[in-house]
Amino acid sequence: MFYVLILLLVVTFVLPIVSKKVENNLEIFLFIVGVLACVTSGAINKELFLGIIQNKFMYTIAVAVLIGGFIFKALSTHIEGALTYILKYVPLKLFIFLLIVIIGFLSSIITAIIAALLLVEIVSILPISRKNKINIDVVACFSIGIGAVLTPIGEPLSTMIVSKLNVSFWYLLDKYGVYIIPAIFILGIIGTFYGIQEKIESNNTEEIIIEETNKEIFIRALKIILFIIALELLGEGFKILIDNYVINLHTGYLYWFNMSSAVLDNATLAAAEVSVKMSEAQVKAVLMGLLISGGMMIPGNIPNIISAGKLKINSKEWMKLGIPLGMTIMIIYYIILFKI
């Protein structure tokens, strides 16, 4: 069983990268792997299915994506006009810095989902090349991914941590704000390097953002539901592996193990790993590892999934910046957390 689960974990990492078909059907792929992992570990039972069906957060996210999609579709012209007006008076690099920083902090209040929807609407109409739009989006998704954890309403990970540890609403801000807040500002600075204003020719099809239809908005919401179900299955399927081989690891190893959040989604791993039995140092290692690595690949965070789908970013395009940026931040924080 152990070796089968390890194989499934490796497959989950590798196939979305090497197979275009898997990448284009990521939600279905993760669902299938989740089912196989649950069957392998013997986690398939009535309670699992009831828990998934009764997951209120899943429906909340789907509704948020639907409402947000329709609102942004209706207001897209106004948003573009407002952005054009703002950029007459605010330098593009400063605007990008403010966008990444503000969207990072806002995500803990308006949720990471709404923040991601707002982000792609703004990024899609910036007067820069597609390559730089992708880079700014990736950096901003790192900001959203780590910023949303500051309150329990920001993202599933923060909700999960606060619930499992039975702590106060401001616990995460009090304990981890000192690490997260500076990172958001640094990400804002990094984003400015891609603020190279260009004249986009009207016949440049690469820059055309196709307006979404109502059907596409509904399909995206359904894909989000399938994605969350897949994450639940993956978490339960790999839980036995984590309980037996991971939870007792040294804090440094826990930190690096959670780089698997790049594929498995940080909320899934938090659900499987975090326990009141853990020391504060272990929780810190798990949480920081999850937060940072979640931005490295598209499946790592729901905001990544939303923005990649909207801006039509494939895995290789995302990883070109996501992996080196994530690894650099991982190394810096490893030194800060465990060596200083």
Residue 202 domain flag: no
Indicate if the pLDDT at residue 125 is higher than 90. Answer: no
The whole-number average pLDDT for the span 55-78 is: 77
Indicate if the pLDDT at residue 86 is higher than 70. Answer: yes
DSSP alpha helices (H): ranges in the chain? Answer: 2-18, 20-24, 26-41, 46-53, 56-89, 92-110, 112-124, 130-147, 156-165, 171-192, 214-245, 251-257, 261-264, 266-273, 280-293, 302-311, 315-338
Contact 288, 254 (CB under 8 A): no
328 contact partners, CB below 8 Å, separation of at least 6: none
Based on the structure, what is the number of domains in the chain? Answer: 1
Two structure tokens written together for 42:
């013997």
For 28, the domain range is: 2-197+209-338
Report d(CA 262, CA 258) in Å as an integer: 8
How many Cα neighbours within 13 Å face the side chain of 239? 21
Report d(CA 271, CA 234) in Å as an integer: 10
Indicate if the pLDDT at residue 49 is higher than 60. Answer: yes
Contact 76, 213 (CB under 8 A): no
Predicted local confidence at residue 201, as pLDDT: 47
Residue 204 domain flag: no
Two structure tokens written together for 281:
């140092």
Amino acid at 105: F
Two structure tokens written together for 125:
């109409």
Contact 311, 133 (CB under 8 A): yes
Cα 296-297-301 angle, rounded to 5 deg: 90
Indicate if the pLDDT at residue 103 is higher than 90. Answer: yes
Indicate if the pLDDT at residue 205 is higher than 50. Answer: no
Contact 108, 144 (CB under 8 A): no
Indicate if the pLDDT at residue 186 is higher than 70. Answer: yes
Indicate if the pLDDT at residue 7 is higher than 70. Answer: yes
Q: If DSSP codes are grouped into helix, strand and coil, which group holds residue 207?
A: helix
Q: Which residue has the tokens 């993760």?
A: 30
335 contact partners, CB below 8 Å, separation of at least 6: none
Residue 250 domain flag: yes
Indicate if the pLDDT at residue 129 is higher than 50. Answer: yes
Contact 293, 334 (CB under 8 A): no
- For residue 9, name the pLDDT band (cuts at 50, 70, 90): confident
The whole-number average pLDDT for the span 240-262 is: 75
Q: CA quadruple 79, 81, 84, 88: dihedral positive or negative?
A: negative
Residue 203 domain flag: no
Report d(CA 266, CA 295) in Å as an integer: 10
